[in-house]
């Protein structure tokens, strides 16, 4: 199996509402067609708003229903702690980074500046493809 990807919250939202440039959208279409992988933190972040106030809520729920959702494991918790001990990063981003690293996944996010100093983490911004 080739490279596998973990989709960040902003990537999913941008994908559903079609905010990526054509090149990024086409690249993400291939990933989504093969395998959708997200962290449980991403699911919580994206679906934690009032569904009555967002026309895309149903599409987001369906997206997560077709995804592989990676839970918090002991290894992810340990890696999250290590990441936060080394740099200032908010907890959800640290969990997402740790999840990608523990499972050998490339993180797909437009939020590259918060992740850039995490050694061993690969990040791709679909807005810059």
Q: What distance in Å separates the CA atoms of residue 105 and residue 27, rounded to the nearest whole number?
A: 16
What phi-psi label fits residue 104: left (phi over 0), alpha (psi between -120 and 50 degrees) or beta?
A: left
Please state the separation of Cα 54 from the chain's center in Å.
Answer: 20
Query: Domain 5-128 belongs to what topology?
Result: Rossmann fold (3.40.50)
Q: Scanning the structure block, which residue is given the tokens 């054509």?
A: 22
Model confidence over 81-91: pLDDT tens digits? 999 999 999 99
For the chain, domain boundaries: 5-128
Q: What is the mean pLDDT of residues 85-102?
A: 96
Give alpha helix (H) positions in 17-108. Answer: 22-34, 40-47, 57-65, 74-86, 91-102
pLDDT value at position 1? 64
Task: Say which DSSP state 123 is in.
Answer: E
């Amino acid at each position: 199996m080739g490279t596998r990807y973990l989709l960040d919250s902003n990537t999913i939202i941008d994908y559903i509402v079609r905010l990526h440039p054509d090149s990024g959208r086409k690249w993400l279409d291939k990933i989504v067609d093969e395998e959708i992988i997200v962290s449980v933190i991403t699911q919580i972040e994206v679906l934690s708003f009032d569904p009555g106030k967002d026309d895309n809520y149903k599409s987001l729920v369906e997206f997560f229903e077709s995804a592989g959702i990676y839970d918090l494991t002991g290894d992810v918790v340990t890696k999250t702690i290590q990441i936060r001990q080394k740099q200032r990063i908010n907890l959800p981003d640290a969990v997402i980074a740790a999840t990608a690293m523990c499972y050998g996944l490339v993180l797909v996010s437009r939020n590259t500046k918060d992740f850039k100093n995490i050694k061993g983490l690969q990040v791709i911004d679909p807005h810059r493809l």
